[in-house]
Copies of this chain bind each other. A is one copy, B any other.
Amino acid sequence: MKATKRIADATQESLHRIFTVAEAPDSTLGLIEQEMSQNLVGFLNNHIVASENALTDIEQDFIDAQIPEQPAFVSDHMSHLLDKLVSQSVHTSSPSFVGHMTSALPSFILPLSKLMVGLNQNLVKVETSKAFTPLERQVLGMMHNLVYQETSDFYQNWMHSAQHSLGAFCSGGTVANITALWVARNKLLKADGDFKGVARSGLFAALQHYGYQGLAILVSERGHYSLKKSADILGLGQDSVIAIPTDENNKIDCIKLAQKCDELAAKNIKVLSIVGVAGTTETGNIDPLNAMADIAEQHQCHFHVDAAWGGATLLSNKYRPLLAGVERADSVTIDAHKQMYVPMGAGVVIFKDPSSVAAIEHHAEYILRKGSKDLGSHTLEGSRPGMAMLVYSSLHIISRPGYEMLINQAIEKAEYFADIINQHPDFELITKPELCLLTYRYAPKSVQELLANQGKNNDVAGQQHINLLLGKLTKFIQKRQREDGKSFVSRTRIEVGHYNGEKVIVFRVVLANPLTTKEILQDILVEQSKLALESEQFLPELLAAANTK
């Protein structure tokens, strides 16, 4: 009995230590932290293994659903993490990994994140976040300013007003888009006479009251999948998202958009929102926002811009005009964890009208009391971390001109990459960069000539056959390159105008990492050319087809 008590005491002592005594600087964890702090990219280069293991193999290390009955020593557990987790994670900050929207992080971010975690504020209410609440409101003000450039009086009036909010901070672009459409839905189907509004009475009663046959969300066929998800969650149904065709530059066809609006109006289907894309996920193109705003005005519907990727471009005075018209949007989504170089988990949705959020206001007895400045009364999420601090610090330390430099460089790097692809006889540029994204594929010169000839002869079937083979080759190269682990480009399927809108498999690159050099881009083409030669099936077949034309 006494022995049991001694063990219990010892465990209690060690539990208490866990909460009070820091790891020693020369402990495993301390040493790892130092290595990481001194040189993050080097640390990741050392610990992430280059060659890829199959996911099913990795799963074998994460197979036990039992919660451990024995505590692990911190040092042992750290070795385990390095061995099984870190080694098999993705080197998102590697300058030769140009297929992701996650990039390298500024080095000041790591200690700042630690501070944020250590403070462990909960932004849902002032009571657990105090100065973080005005800080987040200021960040929302800055992002609003970035989009709408209102007067300083405007920000003075609304930024810290309890009943208003210039936007909502959230975990990412998907929640931002849901929030924007939630606001749009609740504003459209607001209380009216006996009807208490969709927020209280639901969609069924709302559509009955307003007499609509249905609602629709109109977006180009390049729109992000989160819009369909939003429509599902909000009770509108995925089919209410109507994909409008794009032109050869992946921009929405505004004539078709206007036609669809008229068509829906004739059927008594109300357009809930037109959604402009400012930086498509696959090609980085930006919709003609001004023309879309005209159509939205004409049909008196909400105009949302999904600038999750492209919003950061507004920080560049040089490239800002690419998003002309964004200031006419009712709401705008921007992800700070994309081209604002903040870690994962930082999205915002900004509202032109500071009182928009009233449509989604929620109160409770113990928090979010009416009149409080609690951020949680206007957000989809409840408890949330103080990620806004990292955006705040980045905006101050990097500053707008610093961001402009990063964004301009990224776009110019993409233009350089497009140039060397164009100059290379065996590569075909599929979509040229408007922002820092482009798509291309490996296609030997003779095969490109064959495709051109087939085009002239209207040999659609012939082109399809060749594109299918090229697609298999692209997939082969991309997969091998990823497995070799030296560099990484992603791959997607997109409709290509000059191949009759056929869906074609392509390499996709995102050149946001400031550490990516021209040499790295040249090397990627060299590596891909070599890998193509290793394809024992598709390349010979393609070359044979080209020779017998």
Please state if A232 and B360 are interface contacts (CB–CB under 8 Å): yes
Selecting from A126-134, A244-252, A257-265, A453-461, the interface stretch reads: A126-134
Kindly identify which residue among B128, B178, B385, B393 contacts A81, using a CB–CB cutoff of 8 Å. Answer: B393
Bound Cα distance from A21 to B118, whole angstroms: 23
List the B residue with the shortest CB-CB distance to A37: B22
List the B side residues contacting A215 at CB < 8 Å: 202
- Interface of A, helix, strand, loop or mixed by DSSP: helix
Which B residues touch A90, using CB under 8 A? 121, 127-130
The answer, yes or no, to whether A537 is at the interface (CB within 8 Å) is no
**A88: which B residues are within 8 A, CB to CB?**
130-131
Chain B residues whose CB sits within 8 angstroms of the CB of A201 once the complex forms: 237, 239
A430 to chain B, nearest CB (A): 14
> Whole-angstrom distance from the CB of A402 to the nearest CB of chain B?
5
- Interface check A26, CB cutoff 8 A: no
Query: A371 near B: Cβ within 8 Å?
Result: no
Q: Is the CB of B18 within 8 A of A133?
A: no
Give chain B residues whose Cβ lies under 8 Å from the Cβ of A231. Answer: 202
B-chain residues with CB within 8 Å of residue A174 when the two chains form the complex: 380-383
Q: Contact: A203 with B200, CB < 8 Å?
A: no
Q: Which of A361-415 contact B (CB under 8 A)?
A: 362-366, 368, 373, 380-386, 389, 393, 395-402, 405-406, 409
Q: When the two chains form their complex, are residues A138 and B64 in contact, meaning their CB atoms are under 8 A apart?
A: yes
A18 CA to B398 CA, complexed, in Å: 9
Residues of B within 8 Å of A20, CB to CB, are 41, 107, 515
A351 at the interface (CB under 8 A from B): no
Taking CB atoms and an 8 Å cut-off, the chain A residues in 100-152 that contact chain B are 100-102, 104-115, 117-122, 126-135, 137-138, 141-142, 144-146, 152
- Bound-state CA distance A360–B174 (Å) is 14
Please measure, in the bound complex, the distance between the C-alpha atom of A73 and the C-alpha atom of B122, giving whole angstroms. Answer: 28
Known: A237-B205, A402-B11. A21 touches B107 (CB 8 A): yes
Encoded as 1 (CB less than 8 Å from any B CB) or 0, chain A from 4 to 30 comes to 000010011001101111110000011
Which residue of chain B has its CB nearest to the CB of A111?
Answer: B33
- In the complex the two chains form, what is the Cα distance from A489 to B32 in whole Å? 38
Which one, A53-61, A294-302, A441-449, A524-532, is touching chain B? A53-61
| Interface mask (A33-53 → B, CB under 8 Å = 1, otherwise 0) | 100111111011000000000
Size of the chain A interface, CB-CB below 8 angstroms:
176
The answer to whether A233 and B182 touch (CB under 8 A), given A67-B395, A71-B397, is yes
Interface assignment of A173: CB less than 8 Å from any CB of chain B? yes
Task: Point out the residue from B21, B89, B99, B159 that lies within 8 Å of A130, measured CB to CB.
Answer: B89
- In the assembly, what is the distance between CA of A259 and CA of B166, in Å? 44
User: Is A266 engaged at the interface, CB distance under 8 Å to the other chain?
Assistant: no
Leading 4 A-B pairs by shortest Cβ distance: A235-B235, A202-B237, A174-B382, A88-B131
Would you give 20 A-B contacts (Cβ < 8 Å), ordered by A?
Answer: A11-B401, A15-B406, A16-B515, A19-B107, A19-B514, A29-B108, A32-B111, A61-B134, A63-B160, A65-B159, A70-B399, A85-B135, A85-B389, A101-B122, A121-B344, A127-B490, A196-B239, A202-B231, A202-B239, A204-B214
- For A276, list chain B residues within 8 Å (CB): none
Given known contacts A18-B108, A383-B337, is B234 in contact with A233 (CB within 8 Å)? Answer: yes
Chain B neighbourhood of A382, CB < 8 A: 172-175, 226, 229
The reply to whether B132 and A366 form a contact with Cβ atoms under 8 Å apart is no
Q: Are A233 and B345 in contact (CB under 8 A)?
A: no
For the complex, what is the distance from the CA of A544 to the CA of B59, rounded to whole Å?
A: 71
Selected contact of A55 from candidates B87, B105, B119, B126, CB within 8 Å: B126
